[in-house]
Amino acid sequence: MMTGDHVKASRSSHHDEEPLSPAARFFQAPRFNVYIIAIVGCKTRINTDVVKAGLEQTLVKHPRFSSKMVVDGNKYCKNKKWTQTKVNLEDHIIVPELDPNIDFPDRFVEDYVSNVTRTPLDLSKPLWELHLLNIKTSDAEAVGVFRIHHSMGDGASLISLLLACTRKTSDPEALPSVPVKKRAGSTFNSRDGFWWFFLAIWMLLRLIWNTMVDVLLFVATTLFLKDMKTPIKGAPGVELNVKKFVHQTVSLEDIKLVKNAMNMTVNDVVTGITQAGLSRYLNRRYIHSSCTGEEKKLDGRVKQSNSNIPKGIRLRTVILVNLRKSAGIQVAAAIIRRALSNITMAISGVVGAQEEISFYGHPIAYLAPFVYGPPLSLVVNYQSYVNKMTISLTVDPSVIPDPYELCNDIEESLKLIRHAVVNKGLIKDVV
């Protein structure tokens, strides 16, 4: 492992320079400046010196967290690259002096995070920072707030790196374990080979067809197919507004119960409860805009029966994936930004540790990841941890002024679905 002096002495060598990947250049494109926020709730007060010492031995030694972005060339031909630099932790760790008896500490943390996002990260140093807030909230004794530019990696890789900085609380020397997808056992029978062959052909044809439909929908969305205006659809320029970050924890065991009963995945369940929660939330929002009469109309559209939501609403979400290669990053960024501007929201999920872990000796109560910067008024992130699932909402408060009500609606939808599954007898021996 190179020392700081070695890095400084050889900084100008080619071995310490690396061109930005297509994904990194994509997230550095104009009007697509995307950041990741990761809030770590701890069960004890945070010892700043211990955290600094831990970061020196782990995160700071990672090449991306010890590199800054430099730009060579003129305005017509810019060459961006990562260059190794000596990291001064005092420039990256912020420890504000806080009143331990402050009123409404949860609201204070939310406002603090929102204010942090008002200013961009300094390009003259590695694009990350950590705020340590020794303030007791409703679900933690102290809070750590990571802010990382999305060009340094995707959410899954950065959360994995963060987990690599933790250890099991039960075994301080052991890394946390995360769920691994089980491979189905081979049950192939030579007598069924004929049918397996046709099944494989059918699956291939379905893949080709679904890919063609997705490409056509993406092109149409980029050119003209816009989501209809709803109370949660942001106006042009929404990415420039200061966002609000809220989270709420639900039972992962309830999600797994529904998953097993319905023979689906965790992603299917969280997508379903998000859709159901949005329906509940929108129904309540539309109540205030409905008019009287035998046939109520909202924004020129007839409402559904037993609901205040207009019929035929097109409300779509997107799951963002890594950009591996592209002929023109600026063009690709402009196209994807236009497509995102025409839809309503984004959703993602990240798998966390299966047992309680500690952040440099500080037991973790919860993890809550957020994303801001895309032209969307609502981004929903799910993060599992032990037997909990954290729902994290990034919202534009001018569009969604009551995000906790949306969190409650998603949680209530999970309870209703679980109740229906149990009542139908799909799961037995459930308390």
Q: Output the furthest CA–CA distance in the chain (Å, rounded).
A: 79
d(CA 94, CA 145): 10
Helices H / strands E in the chain, number of each = 10, 17
Nearest by Cα to 410 from 308, 270, 316: 270
DSSP E strand stretches across 154-254 = 166-168, 244-251
**Cβ contact 38:247 at 8 Å:** no
Residues 6+ apart with CB under 8 A from 191: none
- Strand ranges across the sheet with 35-42: 93-94, 128-133, 142-149, 35-42, 362-372, 357-359, 166-168
Backbone angles phi, psi at 385, to 5 degrees: -160, 115
Residues in the chain, how many? Answer: 431
DSSP E strand stretches across 142-211 = 142-149, 166-168
Q: Is 150 a catalytic residue?
A: yes
**Owner of token pair 């932790």:** 89
Query: Bridge partners of 82?
Result: 18, 69
Residue of 92, 131, 150, 247 marked catalytic? 150
The residue type found at 113 is: V
DSSP E strand stretches across 1-141 = 17-19, 35-42, 67-74, 77-84, 93-94, 128-133
d(CA 281, CA 380): 14
Nearest by Cα to 298 from 406, 287, 221: 287
Backbone angles phi, psi at 173, to 5 degrees: -100, -10
* Residues labelled catalytic: 150
